A and B are shown apart, each in its own frame.
Chain A
Amino acid sequence: SQKIEQNSEALNIQEGKTATLTCNYTNYSPAYLQWYRQDPGRGPVFLLLIRENEKEKRKERLKVTFDTTLKQSLFHITASQPADSATYLCALEGMDSNYQLIWGAGTKLIIKP
């Protein structure tokens, strides 16, 4: 079955540094992968989508890479700010592409001033 792994431990980063979060997956080669942000008590919010034929995607201070050989995606936030503190979830297309996404458990990011 498909499996997604994100670091379950919180990531503490000093303000102004680059935060890097990892998403690893097994047993499947998805056509695309997505990253979402979730604040406490709120629903996830879509950030970026990257397709299997794209190595890198950027949006303002965000950058996502997608290595289909390593079966890994990295999510970078440059010049991090305390407002970037949240839980970040990765999600990939379901194997059956049956209108579903397969979700990682998320990594909590804490940006310290």
Chain B
Amino acid sequence: SQTIHQWPATLVQPVGSPLSLECTVEGTSNPNLYWYRQAAGRGLQLLFYSVGIGQISSEVPQNLSASRPQDRQFILSSKKLLLSDSGFYLCAWTSRVGGTDTQYFGPGTRLTVL
């Protein structure tokens, strides 16, 4: 069966520090991968998605970037964090079966920027 891992679970970082969040998927090949951010009490904001190694699409211009160095690895990065980067970061993968995109989420990373 497929599983998705994210780490770390929680992170407290000072403003201006770098960021690296990692997501890995097991049990599937060539998944579509997604990074979302969710502010408290709000909906999901799509940040990046990837349909293959090295292929990254950005949905929201900001100081974040994403990379996909391996088929089942997706990394979210920042060179300098802002206070507004605080939030709940979720990685997801898609199984495109029957022409639909059902998304399966990781456990999330709670990021607090101070």
Contact = CB atoms under 8 A, between A and B. Distances in A.
B43 A41 contact: no
Contact size class for A? 20 to 34
Interface string A38-55: 000111111001010000
Contacts, number: 50
A80 interface: no
A101 B101 contact: yes
A112 to B, nearest CB: 20
Q: Is the interface of B mostly helix, strand, loop or mixed?
A: strand
Interface string A13-53: 00000000000000000011010000001111110010100
Contact of A104 (B43, B88, B103, B105): B43
Contacts of B42: 105
A99 B49 contact: yes
B99 interface: yes
Interface of A: 31-32, 34, 41-46, 49, 51, 89, 91, 93, 99-101, 103-106
